[in-house]
Amino acid sequence: MRPYTSMPKLIVNADDFGRSSAINQGILEGHQKGIVTSASLMTDRDALDEAVRMARENPQLGIGLHLDLDAFFNVQHGTGRLVSYRDPSLPLNAIAQETERQIQKIIATGLPIHHLDGHHHAHLRPELFATIAALTAKYKIKVIRYFGGFYEGLYPGLSVDWIKDLAPRFGLTCVDTFFAGWEPVESSLPGYRYLDLNMPFQTAELMVHPGKGEPWREKELTHCVSPSVRDELKKRQIDLVSFSQLC
């Protein structure tokens, strides 16, 4: 039996909105025909304008920023891990400026931004989180993605409790449980936890990557529009919400 008096709240968030038209189409289908309640926009990809139009036409789809800092890193192909900085001296000021630029670009669309997360979870890196959290708060974005499993395997032995403690100090909200999709994929991290509806939670995010034309994204989309998944959520009295409904 769940220890909470209110219905558990689940946000199903689709990353990579705006990356390509094929991904946009998958996210839109996942929202209109399935359980996707939220999506994270990439500001500098080819299909941003299409994604913005789709978001305007579907106001129930919550919108956030999928902060892309890949330009500052050497990225390991396949896994998508950020293995090192291209500039050995930490370009923190440049990263702050780039973060602010991307936030402002989404604000300029007129869409409300309800959350911030990071492509390849770059915003969670210990040396970056405080700066990015401060900018998130500066622009009145209420929710930032955090999950302790990011640090397992990547930062062995590192005490990370202080990182999570920063979020409320900036007035930011984090969900209490993060599910990194349905099952492991090539880019999975050692500390990832996957959807488990037997796990008690009060608020949770399920990160998904639906899309068209790529087998793994098509598989994600199939899960998102599955009637059996929706029925199971209803059976367990789990409320599908967007990030705006957490604050």
Identify the structural domains of the chain with CATH numbers, from first to last: 9-246 (3.20.20.370)
Q: What average pLDDT score do residues 98-111 get? A: 97
The first and second tokens of residue 26, run together, are 């998958």
In DSSP terms, 65 is beta-bridged to 41, 116
Closest by alpha carbon to 241, among 7, 29, 19, 56? 7
Quick count: other Cβ atoms within 10 Å of Cβ 221? 26
Range in 61-70, 78-87, 90-99 with the lowest mean pLDDT: 78-87
Split at pLDDT 50, 70, 90, the class of 90 is confident
Residue 60: name the closest of 17, 24, 31 by CA: 31
Q: Which residues pair with 37 in a beta bridge?
A: none
Per-residue pLDDT tens digits for 112-136 = 999 999 999 999 999 999 999 999 9
State how far the Cα of 57 lies from the Cα of 51, in Å rounded to an integer: 10
* 115 contacts 89 by C-beta, under 8 angstroms: no
User: Is residue 208 over pLDDT 50?
Assistant: yes
